[in-house]
Amino acid sequence: MSEFVLKDGARRQVVATGVKVVKVLTGGAKTYSAGDSIGGVQELEVGGANAAGVLLQSISVIDAENHRSSLGLVFFDNTVSGNTDIADGNAFDLSVGDDLGKVVGVVKIDTNDYVSYDSDELVVATKTGIGLVMAPASDKAIRVAIIDEVGHERTAANTLQIDFGFLQG
């Protein structure tokens, strides 16, 4: 067992209980500019998580359109009041006054993180050993906004999937 510390200073033990959350970002054909939110704020139901918190261990991005998009994933530990400012296709605009304290971290997926095993049509990027500590809100959900850092055009719905791997404490 290892220990992690929440934002409020509370210490928790990590046990080998894993939770996998899969998000397929919906939406049809759309052109995203650099800095646009993809899919709006996503809620990740972390199941049996409680006040002990969770540890984000891994992220896998599966892109069926081979964009190899550079992405920023901004994680929140509670509902974001500026949800309309982080809607799909809008420029990411965080309401600093209300939402800054809800940010628990950012994970970046870079273009060179992707690998292909399907004639370059399907590409996958995986980040492991992230170790980002989060305390879910009372509804046992973590929120994440996915930001397109370069801009690209999606030609079909359901072509971007992100898998999140958590450990529970």
Report the mean per-residue pLDDT for the chain. 80
Find residue 33's DSSP bridge partners. Answer: 151
The pLDDT of residue 71 is above 80: yes
How far lies 117's CA from each of 17, 24, 46, 90, 120, in Å? 30, 20, 30, 32, 7
Q: What is the pTM of this model?
A: 0.83
CATH number of 2-168: 2.60.120
pLDDT in tens, 72-103: 999 988 877 765 668 888 888 876 666 777 88
Of 116, 160, 141, which Cα lies nearest the Cα of 26? Answer: 160
Most distant CA pair in the chain, distance:
48
Q: Where are the domains of the chain?
A: 2-168
- Identify whether the C-beta of residue 69 lies closer than 8 Å to the C-beta of residue 108: no
**How far is the C-alpha of 14 from the C-alpha of 3, rounded, in Å?**
6
Tens digits of residue pLDDT in 139-159: 778 889 999 999 988 888 788
